[in-house]
Amino acid sequence: MKDICIREEYTNKQGETNVSWNKIGILISANGKDYVKLYHIPNTLCSVFEQKKKEEKSVFEQKKKEEKQEYIDVDNAPF
């Protein structure tokens, strides 16, 4: 188990810059898989995956990308 922290710089009363590490969650490794538990999202365990290369992306992701590229020609729309 590992802590997930964010770094926050602050200036103390003497004008010195210091760093505070605020714990926002944990990384859990179990059965060969990684999970993230973020404290500000209760009752949710996030799964962690390796990023896929572009040619390995799913059919759903490819179709989604194609749909984004389509556009409507508003000048020739029938309304």
Strand partners, 30: 33
Q: What residue spans define the domains of the chain?
A: 2-76
Q: What strand order describes the sheet that includes 33-38?
A: 2-11, 17-30, 33-38, 46-48
pLDDT at residue 52 in the model: 80
pLDDT at residue 36 in the model: 96
pLDDT at residue 79 in the model: 46
Beta strands in the chain (DSSP E): 2-11, 17-30, 33-38, 46-48
pLDDT at residue 72 in the model: 55
Q: For each successive 10 residues of the chain (79 residues), what is the average pLDDT?
A: 96 96 96 94 92 71 65 57
Q: pTM for this structure?
A: 0.57
CA distance readout (Å), 10 to 3, 14, 18, 20, 25: 21, 11, 5, 8, 21
